[in-house]
Amino acid sequence: MHRRVSAALAASVALACTATACGGDGGTASTPAAKIAGPGSGTGKTLTVWYMDGDLSDAAVKAINTEFTKATGASVKVQIQEWDDINTKITTALAQNDPPDVLEIGNTDVPLFAAAGGLSDISAVQKTMAQGQTWLPGLVGPATVGGRLYAAPLFAAERAVVYNKKIWSKAGVTKPPATFAEFTADLDKIKAANPAPDFSAFYMPGQYWFGGVQFVWDAGGELATKNGDKWTGALESPQAQRGLAAWKQFQNTYSTPASRNLFNLTPDYNAVFAQEKTAAILNTSVNSILKIKPSLKGQLGTFPLPGADAGTTQPVFLGGSDLGVAAKSPNRALALAYLKAATSTAVQTSAIAGIDGWTPVSSQLIDQTAGSRPELFKAFSFAAKRSVATPASPGWATIESDKSLQAFFGDISTGKTPIADAAKSFDQHLNQALNASQ
């Protein structure tokens, strides 16, 4: 005991030095990872991989692991991480000398870690891994910093309208709408047929920014534009203003007044839908609904949200995850082999799209799987074709984690702040956050 204490004291004295920047843990910018481990090279080794809770099913993860083990002989240790405070968790993990080898990171958060040197540069192996396919820009764009690639795509998730066919047909609507005008006319009918005060023709919580940005993009607006190295918030533009007004109109008309300042998790919009308190929601999947109420299966339908211009659909936010390799990982060749296994056509087709119903990572794969995907998932594939990514700046993680984006749409929906004022102050916030140095 005594020895441990004095050792600890000695260590803390030594540390005062690190804090004053006169030393450190050998942290020069890591060299790019270029070599993919070959067959048998990993025998006896174990790769640690972090996945996020709730994203991939156990079966899908197993499929990736099997593919990887087949290719290298190494085994995999999977650890599931929770969402709460995940950026802090990843930050501190990457700062350790023995980080996990491979990490699943939400696509919009990748720039944060890539720009700061936490992830390995994997540009050298992009061609080998992609095998001639075009990875979705929404997944690869944020992972590209200064022209270098720092993560490989794992899966994509887009939003489409999920609706309850029974409620729709009871209101006299029997087929999904083709235009925005038809869409609102249908919702008007459903609204008239269901007067209960807690019923929403379309449940769209006011802080649900994933819905809000679609209206902005559909009106030709942008969240921010990049000029050279500098980002500028663009919500004050007339197009964005029009989109925001359309959003407010839609939200206020078809969702309950009580939902104007809510995010989609309290209550969980899947539960609202499953308990038939709404006829439609905008979601990335039908799985969560079916998990709550499996009996709804025959009643569900999906379609992409129609755009304001006839014949178009609204551009959607492209969500999803990437896999990154920790810069300090001692097993980087194996880690690259893992990325290769996860992005391989076989795994993407059978596991990512087949088992979990997520959208695969390249446009070719989307086309290939479109035919074989269950009818219910087709709307998501379709939506993927018109997907948009959020600004590829490390500062974007700030915008998502400081709740300002939620508050921005919430304050517009409730009418607490006039649209022009909200846009002005949010643009200022974007200017500051997106251009902040790391």
Partner 1 sequence: MVRRVRPARVALNTGAVLFCAVWMFPVYWMVNTALKPTGDTLSPTPKFLPFPMSLANFADAVRKPHFADYLVNSVIVTGVVVTLSVVVAFLAATALTRFRFFGRRGFLIGIMVIQMIPGPALLIPLFLSMKSLNMLDTLIGLIVTYSAFVLPLTIWVMRGFLHGVPVELEEAAMVDGASRFTVIRKVLLPLVMPGIIAASVFSFIVAWNDYIYAYVMMKDQSRYTLPVWLASFSTNIGTDYGGLIAGSTLFALPIVVFFMLIQRRLVVGMTAGAVKG
Partner 2 sequence: METLAARATVVPEAAAPRARRRRSALPYVLLAPAALVLALVIGYPLVRLVLISFQDYGLRALFSGRTRWTGFANYTAVLHGDEIVPMLVRTALVCVAMAGGTLVIGTGVALAMRALGRRMRTLVTFCLIAAWAVPNVAATMLWTWLFQPTYGVVNWLLRLGQYDWTAHTVSALLLVWLLVVWQSVPFVALTLYAGLSQIPGDYYEAAALDGAGYWTRFRVITVPFLRPILLLVTVLSVIWDFNVFNQIWLLTGGGPDGGTTTLVVWSFRRAFASQSYGQGAAIAVLATALLTALTSYYVRRLVRAGEAW
Interface with partner 2 includes 398 (CB under 8 A)? yes
Nearest to partner 2 of 115, 335 (CB atom): 115
Q: At what angle do helices 363-370 and 375-384 cross, to 10 degrees?
A: 160
Q: Are 323 and 135 in contact (CB under 8 A)?
A: no
Judged by CB under 8 A, the chain residues 225 through 254 that form the site for partner 1 are none
Q: Is 42 helix (H, G, I), strand (E, B) or coil?
A: coil
437 binds, among partner 1, partner 2, none (CB under 5 to 8 A by kind): partner 2
Is 268 among the residues that bind partner 2 (CB under 8 A)?
A: no
Q: Please state, in angstroms and rounded to a whole number, the distance separating the CA atoms of residues 225 and 232.
A: 5
195 binds partner 2 (CB under 8 A): no
Distance CA(339)–CA(296), nearest Å, equals 36
By the rule CB under 8 A, 113 interacts with partner 2: yes
Angle 95-96-97 from CA coordinates, rounded to 5°: 125
401 contacts partner 2 (rule: CB under 8 A): yes
Give the separation between CA 127 and CA 55, rounded to whole angstroms. 26
**Per rule CB under 8 A, is residue 85 in the interface with partner 1?**
yes
* Separation between Cα atoms, residue 178 and residue 307, nearest integer Å: 9
Contact flag: residue 109 with partner 1 (CB under 8 A): no
Sign of CA dihedral 7, 13, 19, 20: negative
The answer to whether 299 contacts partner 1 (rule: CB under 8 A) is no
Task: Decide: is 424 part of the binding site for partner 1 (CB under 8 A).
Answer: no
Is residue 359 within 8 Å of residue 157, measured between CB atoms?
yes
Q: Of 123, 253, 299, 414, which lies in the binding site for partner 2, with binding defined by CB under 8 A? A: 414
* Candidate list 47, 76, 102, 106; residue touching partner 1; CB under 8 A: 106
Selected range binding partner 2 among 40-48, 150-158, 330-338, 430-438, rule: CB under 8 A: 430-438
**CB closer to partner 1 out of 228 and 294:** 294
DSSP string, 109-175: GHHHHHHTT-B---GGGHHHHHTT--B-HHHHTTTEETTEE-EEEEEEE--EEEEEHHHHHHTT--S
Residue 266 touching partner 1 (CB under 8 A): yes
DSSP string, 159-217: -EEEEEHHHHHHTT--S--SSHHHHHHHHHHHHHH---TT-BSS---TT-HHHHHHHHH
46 part of the interface to partner 1, by CB under 8 A: no
Query: Could you list the residues that contact partner 2 (CB under 8 A)?
Result: 5, 8, 12, 15-16, 18-21, 23-29, 84, 87, 91, 94-95, 112-113, 115-118, 197-198, 256-262, 266-267, 327, 394-395, 397-398, 401-404, 406-407, 410-411, 414, 416-417, 433, 436-438
Query: Could you list the residues that contact partner 1 (CB under 8 A)?
Result: 8, 11-12, 14-15, 18-19, 52-55, 79-80, 82-85, 88-89, 92-93, 95-96, 100, 106, 196-198, 265-272, 275, 277, 284-285, 287-288, 292-293
